[in-house]
């Protein structure tokens, strides 16, 4: 088969035509033969056995029966009519029923001819009936492609309305296989096929669409899932290896005065073992000749900032500048103040650059960056502007990477002749499975213990009916001089409702916590940024006791004095979001609390989320539960939801296959980094094709 044959536009397939093609394209994104071939069924109906009428059970399963129609009648009912056929075989009689399309069905049905009928049966008295059966004359059924198990394809309302039923899609698929003669180019090496006992590509594609039996279906699924994950991993790992060979980094070979004096004289507390381990990993990276590209994961409050600063000091000791980029002004300010305090009187220059930096200050910053006087620049997206030029940027740190796109990461690369080392930090724990797929091109470090002196946050679940007790508890905490967060959910679809919930909540809190004894701040999405910052600032300074907010405070606000986080309608939050919110408290030495408020109506998933929150403070365990509940697409938030549109594999359910695929991709690139060996020719060909067609990029952030 000509390998480019699968790139044929879909309207050319017999039985499709321009109108159907347009619907297939708009509803399912099918533009070529290859797209249709990769429209995999979501389930199958087993048509391997035929039932006699006297064997039928009240089971709700789809069954097929061979028999004849001996009689047709129309029955009047409250609304309209129904068409009823008496269907018999040698063991008994049942009814076939239609509630619509009578005229067409009457014209096309043949009496006393053997039919195969297929559908769900229901029982009325002692008689079984089958509404709207699929029907085929026995003679045609025996000639057709022997489909033992019927594939059920993804569908949409529009497809059904346009008459593109499951049967029509299955017919198109049969036509595609006839035109391709069932032959598809192999895309894995014989070595891998033999070692994993995989069936061939052609056999797998045939059996995913027209499985002869359950066993062949399972083999086809395993083969195609493995292949999909294998190529995603091959892409990520080869990118990583290529970067290490090609992109020379700047070796930071000396550990100098700044690093050592900070370590000896300025550390506010003893580093945890996890922090020491991570600093060592980063030092190894930056000391080698390759460019570092590392992801640093650490739960809320695990001390990532200290690690970031020590890496910066290494860069400065080696004569380089560094920058730290955060997604919001509040966060950038916080990093700036935190770093300034840690550096103290060490004689290191640090500046802050955000959207609100005055023009006169900007000019100074630009000058100091270009002449090398400025050691550390902290900022928001403003750092990426073309005007911002460094003398020699050696290390770029990006906080909360999922809020920045890949394009923005690469802008930082081009701030220097030789690309700087990159450290990406996140407080959103990413389960290992997801990290292997999303950040497979980064090395990963994890800080998995909290600094000493931190007390674990106590989390409880309370129903709305206990609200008065909760308010009493808040008053006691405020008497002790503590501050409180009360957070309301944000549902993108309905700003008006969110706003109403928040304002209702605010009013009832204002009644229970009256002025002048209690001061309340409020922050929500409809406010101007300056007003938001003003309210946040009052809370940070301790001028207000309670901060009522929507989830805008999720990332990074550091108020050590805030000891209680109340999450209203907690059932409407995702797990990782609740975990992030809980991390806003517990930053001081005092015992902190997180109270999850809900109504009595809870879904099963809702209960699981709340129980998980109450049971554990471990972000990684929470992320694993979250991944199982929500699936990978949701977990990374909408801005990256397109990033794992895998066609058949599921990185949660197929975790084991993912590990196998990653292992084989690593082994292959170890022995043949450029895929030049003859035995890997098929893999090289398929890989190059995917890169050209950009099909693999769909999967990768």
pLDDT digits (tens, 9 = 90+) for 503-537: 888 999 999 999 999 999 998 877 887 888 888 88
Phi, psi of 277 (to 5 degrees): -60, -45
Q: What number is the average pLDDT over the span 629-651?
A: 58
Cα(489)–Cα(487) distance, integer angstroms: 7
CB 262 within 8 A of CB 412: no
% helix / strand / coil in the chain, to the nearest 5?
45, 20, 35
DSSP bridge partners of 458: 593
Are 485 and 545 in a shared domain? yes
| Residue 364, C-beta contacts closer than 8 angstroms, at least 6 positions apart | none
Write the CATH number for 383: 3.40.50.300
Residue 273 lies in a domain: yes
Q: What number is the average pLDDT over the span 255-283?
A: 91
Is the pLDDT at 205 greater than 60? The verdict is: yes
- Domain final position from 412, 447, 482: 447
The 3-state secondary structure of 82-110, one letter per residue = EEEEEEEECCEEEEEEECCCHHHHHHHCC
- Domain final position from 563, 594, 616: 616
Enclosing H/E stretch for 284 = helix 273-287
What's the domain count of the chain?
5
Q: What number is the average pLDDT over the span 286-309?
A: 86
Q: Which residues of 550-573 are buried (b: 16+ CB within 10 A; e: fewer)?
A: bbbbbbbbbbeebbbbbbbbbbeb
Cα(608)–Cα(427) distance, integer angstroms: 22
Are 243 and 177 in a shared domain? no
CB 213 within 8 A of CB 672: no
Residue 400 lies in a domain: yes
Predicted confidence band at 640 (pLDDT cuts at 50, 70, 90)? very low
Residue 549: CB atoms within 10 A of its CB come to 27
CB 72 within 8 A of CB 79: no
Are 464 and 608 in a shared domain? yes
Nearest CA-CA partner of 533 in 388, 337, 329, 319: 329
Q: What number is the average pLDDT over the span 599-610?
A: 91
Residue 662 lies in a domain: yes
Residue 252 lies in a domain: no
Q: What number is the average pLDDT over the span 231-243?
A: 85
Are 263 and 239 in a shared domain? no
Q: What number is the average pLDDT over the span 185-198?
A: 96
Q: What number is the average pLDDT over the span 447-473?
A: 89
Residue 588 lies in a domain: yes
Is the pLDDT at 90 greater than 90? The verdict is: yes
Q: What number is the average pLDDT over the span 303-324?
A: 94
| Average model confidence (pLDDT) across the chain | 86
pLDDT digits (tens, 9 = 90+) for 215-229: 898 999 999 999 999
pLDDT recorded at residue 695: 60
Is the pLDDT at 554 greater than 50? The verdict is: no
Please state, in angstroms and as integers, the Cα–Cα distance from residue 177 to each residue in 6, 148, 170, 206, following that order: 11, 16, 11, 8
Predicted confidence band at 636 (pLDDT cuts at 50, 70, 90)? very low
Are 412 and 273 in a shared domain? yes
Percentage of the residues of the chain whose pLDDT score is greater than 70: 91
Cα(297)–Cα(406) distance, integer angstroms: 18
Are 525 and 432 in a shared domain? no
Cα(439)–Cα(67) distance, integer angstroms: 58
Strands (E), 27-155: 43-46, 50-51, 62-76, 81-89, 92-98, 114-120, 122-124, 127-131, 134-137, 149-152
CB 568 within 8 A of CB 597: yes
Are 357 and 431 in a shared domain? yes
Q: Which carries the bigger pLDDT value, residue 694 or residue 482?
A: 482
Is the pLDDT at 7 greater than 50? The verdict is: yes
- Domain final position from 594, 616, 638: 616
Q: Which domain holds residue 521?
A: 458-616
pLDDT recorded at residue 409: 64
pLDDT digits (tens, 9 = 90+) for 407-454: 666 677 777 778 899 998 987 777 776 777 666 777 888 888 877 777
Half-sphere exposure of 559 (CA within 13 A, CB side): 32
Predicted confidence band at 88 (pLDDT cuts at 50, 70, 90)? very high
- At 105, list the tokens: 């069905």
pLDDT recorded at residue 242: 78
Q: What number is the average pLDDT over the span 26-34?
A: 93
Cα(545)–Cα(476) distance, integer angstroms: 12
pLDDT digits (tens, 9 = 90+) for 96-133: 999 888 888 888 899 999 999 998 888 888 899 999 99
Is the pLDDT at 678 greater than 90? The verdict is: yes
Predicted confidence band at 642 (pLDDT cuts at 50, 70, 90)? very low
Nearest CA-CA partner of 339 in 298, 372, 311, 367: 311
Are 291 and 438 in a shared domain? yes
Asked which of 140-154, 319-333, 623-637 is least confident by mean pLDDT, the reply is 623-637
pLDDT recorded at residue 639: 34
Q: Which carries the bigger pLDDT value, residue 641 or residue 572?
A: 572
Residue 217 lies in a domain: yes
pLDDT digits (tens, 9 = 90+) for 609-631: 999 999 998 887 888 888 778 76
My answer on whether omega of the bond before 516 falls inside 30° of 0, hence cis, is yes
Cα(496)–Cα(491) distance, integer angstroms: 10
pLDDT recorded at residue 396: 93
pLDDT recorded at residue 637: 41
Half-sphere exposure of 657 (CA within 13 A, CB side): 21
Are 561 and 604 in a shared domain? yes
Is the pLDDT at 402 greater than 80? The verdict is: no
Cα(616)–Cα(666) distance, integer angstroms: 35
Q: What number is the average pLDDT over the span 234-241?
A: 85
Cα(510)–Cα(520) distance, integer angstroms: 8
∠ CA 5-154-439, nearest 5°, is 80
pLDDT recorded at residue 632: 57
Are 665 and 682 in a shared domain? yes
Cα(166)–Cα(155) distance, integer angstroms: 8
pLDDT recorded at residue 696: 55
Nearest CA-CA partner of 695 in 636, 635, 638, 647: 647
Are 76 and 18 in a shared domain? no
Residue 199 lies in a domain: no
Please state, in angstroms and as integers, the Cα–Cα distance from residue 527 to each residue in 54, 181, 205, 532, following that order: 70, 63, 54, 6
Is the pLDDT at 495 greater than 70? The verdict is: no
Nearest CA-CA partner of 563 in 644, 473, 628: 473
Residue 58: CB atoms within 10 A of its CB come to 9
Is the pLDDT at 147 greater than 70? The verdict is: no
CB 610 within 8 A of CB 582: no
Are 440 and 470 in a shared domain? no
Residue 635 lies in a domain: no
pLDDT recorded at residue 244: 76
């Amino acid at each position: 088969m000509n390998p480019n044959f699968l790139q044929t536009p879909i309207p050319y397939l017999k039985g499709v035509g321009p109108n159907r093609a347009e619907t297939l394209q708009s509803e399912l994104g099918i533009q070529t033969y290859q797209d249709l071939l990769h429209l995999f069924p979501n389930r199958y109906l087993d048509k391997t056995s035929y039932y006699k009428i006297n064997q039928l059970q009240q089971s709700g399963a789809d069954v097929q029966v061979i028999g004849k129609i001996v009689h047709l009648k129309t029955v009047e009912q409250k609304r309209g009519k129904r068409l009823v056929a008496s269907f018999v075989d040698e063991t008994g009689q049942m009814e076939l029923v239609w509630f619509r399309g009578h005229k067409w069905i009457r014209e096309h049905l043949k009496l006393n001819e053997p039919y195969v009928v297929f559908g769900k049966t229901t029982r009325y008295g002692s008689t079984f009936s089958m509404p709207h059966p699929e029907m085929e004359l026995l003679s045609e059924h025996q000639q057709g492609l022997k489909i033992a198990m019927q594939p059920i394809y993804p569908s949409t309302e529009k497809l059904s309305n346009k008459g593109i039923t499951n049967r029509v899609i299955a017919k198109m698929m049969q036509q595609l296989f006839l035109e391709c003669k069932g032959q598809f180019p192999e895309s894995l090496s014989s070595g891998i096929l033999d070692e994993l006992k995989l069936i061939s590509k052609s056999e797998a594609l045939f059996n995913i669409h027209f499985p002869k039996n359950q066993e062949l279906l399972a083999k086809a699924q395993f083969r195609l899932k493995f292949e999909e994950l294998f190529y995603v991993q091959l892409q990520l790992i080869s990118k990583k290896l290529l970067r290490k060979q090609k992109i020379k980094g700047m070796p930071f070979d000396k550990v100098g005065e700044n690093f050592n004096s900070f370590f000896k004289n300025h550390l506010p507390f003893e580093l945890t073992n996890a922090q020491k381990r991570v600093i060592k990993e980063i030092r190894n990276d930056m000391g080698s000749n390759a460019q570092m590209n590392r992801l640093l994961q650490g739960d809320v409050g695990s001390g990532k900032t200290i690690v970031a600063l020590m890496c910066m000091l290494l860069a400065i000791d080696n004569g380089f500048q560094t920058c730290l980029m955060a997604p919001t002004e509040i966060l950038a300010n916080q990093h700036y103040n935190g770093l300034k305090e840690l550096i103290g009187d060490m004689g290191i220059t640090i500046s802050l650059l955000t959207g609100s930096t005055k023009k006169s200050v900007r000019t100074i910053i630009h000058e100091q960056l270009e002449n090398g006087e400025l050691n550390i620049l902290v900022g928001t997206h403003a750092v990426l502007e073309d005007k911002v030029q460094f003398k020699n940027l050696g290390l770029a740190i990006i906080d909360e990477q999922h809020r920045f796109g890949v394009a923005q990461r690469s802008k930082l690369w081009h701030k220097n002749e030789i690309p700087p080392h990159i450290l990406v930090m996140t407080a959103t724990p990413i389960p290992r499975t997801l990290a292997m797929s999303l950040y497979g091109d980064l090395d990963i470090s994890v800080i998995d213990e909290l600094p000493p002196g931190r007390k674990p946050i106590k989390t409880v679940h309370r129903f709305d009916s206990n609200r008065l007790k909760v308010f009493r508890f808040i008053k006691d905490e405020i008497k002790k001089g503590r501050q409180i967060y009360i957070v309301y959910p944000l549902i993108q679809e309905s700003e008006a409702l969110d706003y109403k919930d928040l304002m209702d909540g605010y009013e009832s809190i204002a009644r229970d916590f009256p002025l002048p004894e209690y001061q309340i701040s409020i922050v929500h999405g409809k406010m101007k940024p300056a007003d938001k910052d003003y309210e946040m600032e009052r809370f940070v300074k301790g001028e207000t006791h309670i901060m009522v907010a929507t989830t805008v405070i999720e990332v990074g606000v550091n108020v050590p004095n805030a000891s209680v986080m109340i999450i209203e309608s907690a059932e409407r939050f995702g797990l990782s979001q609740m975990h992030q919110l809980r991390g806003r408290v517990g930053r001081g030495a005092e015992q902190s609390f997180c109270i999850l408020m809900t109504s009595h109506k809870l879904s099963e998933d809702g209960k699981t989320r709340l129980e998980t929150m109450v049971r554990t403070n471990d972000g990684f365990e929470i992320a694993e539960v979250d991944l199982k509940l929500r699936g990978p697409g949701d977990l990374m938030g909408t801005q990256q939801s397109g990033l794992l549109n895998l066609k058949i594999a599921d990185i949660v359910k197929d975790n084991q296959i993912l590990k196998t695929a990653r292992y084989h991709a690593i082994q292959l690139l170890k022995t043949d980094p450029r895929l030049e060996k003859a035995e890997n020719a098929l893999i090289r060909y398929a890989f190059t094709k995917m890169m050209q067609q950009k099909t693999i990029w769909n999967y990768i952030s």
